[in-house]
Amino acid sequence: MSSTFNPFQGPLHAVHVLGTTAGAHVSSLAGGLVARGIDVTVCGPGAAEADYAFAGTGARFVPVDIGASEAPAVGALRAAFAGAGVVHAHGLRAGLLAAVALGRRRTPLVVTWHGGAPPEGSGRALVQSWLERRAVRGATVVLAVSSDLVDRARRLGAKDVRLAPAAVPHPPGAPPRLPGDGERRRDKARAEFGAVERPLLLTVGRLEPHKGYGLLLDAAARLAVLDPPPLLAVAGEGALRSALERRIEAERLPVVLLGRRDDVPELLAAADLVILPSRWEARALIAQEALHAGVPLVATAVGGVPELVGEAAVLVPYGEPRALARAVTELLADPDRRAALGVAGRAQAATWPTEDDTVAQVLSVYDELTQAPAAG
């Protein structure tokens, strides 16, 4: 008998625990599971409901501050887990807190590992390494979004690890593509930044150390000598904003920090190139969006990026701003190569799992974990 519906117990109740990332993925997944008869509760930061509208998917939303002190979060999760047939945590801290809240309950715990830069040699890195080990060992099944995360989880002692590349979520009926009135929107966006007569480069991501913004500004300094110098627009917020602003001003770099934006499709439509300079990524959302939209991508060859993009992007080593600047310069001078990358990007994106594929894989895991053993 399928675990998704039991005439004596009713639908399977799946509780999702959301940390600080992957909200769009969890919203997409919740909607797909509800449509297939699963009773879904999402626990996460209060602001996440406004950002991702979980109630609109048919799921219940319970505000739980996963990033706060452990005791209140664990207590709230323990209450939310009552009657759950499976708990599904997204991110390592969410996974660890879910495991603590479950305690000795036999409820299966699925942890999706969406990413996180590998720890380096520091006290903070030791804490991160400890968190990784505890989170993956506490899970019944770890779903890792890239092959390198599968390998890491296995090295850390996970009991059961599976590759589960999450689909990039998009609203129904609005597949990722350049807007139909692309020229008008492109001109409007470029005019906003003063890039009508100069190339526009785009980077999207949190302003955090592992995102490679030091490397990016080093490359921007080299690109500033071009005629005309390209403008690099950076969309995102984070802890590095003040430091980046000071450096941009002091060195007079052709870089503008846009802050948090909710119009990334329009920014992509306006951009000549997208740059992903990270020290590590699993399945970077902006890389997926760029290839979906047919915008050429220059990225560092780290983590799951090569597996994600295949031959449809220009990859450079991390930590080499000269190589990054050279790759951008060569692409800006070669419109045929940019056009070819746009075509290749859309073709590569067509090979990725769809949202339906992602839901089907997760549902299969739930069935496996909650299926009662056959009698006899």
pLDDT for residue 251? 97
* Model confidence band, residue 186 (pLDDT cutoffs 50, 70, 90): confident
Looking at the predicted structure, is the pLDDT value of residue 376 above 60?
no
CATH of the domain at 197: 3.40.50.2000
For position 120, what pLDDT does the model report? Answer: 65
- Is residue 127 predicted with pLDDT exceeding 80? no
Same domain, 335 and 360: no
Mean pLDDT of the chain: 90
Q: Is the pLDDT of residue 244 over 90?
A: yes
pLDDT of residue 3: 44
Q: How many helices (H) and strands (E) does the chain have?
A: 15, 15
255: CB partners within 8 A, 6+ apart: 217, 220, 231, 232, 233, 234, 244, 248
Place of tokens 């592992």: 210
Write down the pLDDT at residue 66.
84
Same domain, 300 and 333: yes
- Dist. CA 323–CA 312, nearest whole Å: 18
Specify the number of domains making up the chain: 2
pLDDT of residue 122: 58
pLDDT (tens digit per residue) in 54-99: 999 999 999 998 876 688 899 999 999 999 999 999 999 999 999 9
Structure tokens at 10: 């009713």
One domain for residues 11 and 158:
yes
Same domain, 13 and 104: yes
- Please tell me whether the overall predicted TM-score, pTM, comes out greater than 0.75 for this model: yes
Specify whether 258 is located in the same domain as 148.
no
47 and 14: one domain?
Answer: yes
What pLDDT digit, counting tens, does each position of 99-124 carry?
999 999 999 999 999 987 666 655 66
Residue 106 lies in a domain: yes
Above pLDDT 70, what percent of the chain?
90
Helix (H, G, I), strand (E, B) or coil at 358: helix
Per the structure, the complete domain to which residue 276 belongs is given by: 182-349
The answer to whether position 177 is within a domain reads: no
Same domain, yes or no: 66 and 87:
yes
pLDDT tens track for 338-364:
999 999 999 999 999 999 999 999 999
Please report the pLDDT score of residue 375 as a whole number.
39
Q: Is residue 292 scored above 50 in pLDDT? A: yes
The answer, yes or no, to whether residue 261 has pLDDT greater than 60, is yes
Do 109 and 199 lie in one domain? The reply is no
pLDDT at residue 174, rounded to an integer: 44
C-alpha neighbours within 13 Å on the C-beta side of residue 313: 32
71 or 140: which leads in pLDDT: 140
Spell out a b/e string for 231-241, using b for 16 or more CB atoms within 10 Å of the CB, else e.
bbbbbbeeebe
User: Which position has the token pair 């400890």?
Assistant: 130
Phi, psi dihedral angles at 98 (to 5 degrees): -65, -40
Q: Which residue has the higher pLDDT, 70 or 310?
A: 310
**Paired tokens of 148:** 């390198």
Is the pLDDT at 176 greater than 70? The verdict is no
pLDDT in tens, 6-59: 444 579 999 999 987 788 899 999 999 999 999 999 999 988 988 899 999 999
Per-residue pLDDT band for 170 (boundaries 50, 70, 90) equals low
Q: Are 196 and 319 found together in one domain?
A: yes
52 and 162 part of one domain: yes
**173 or 58, greater pLDDT:** 58
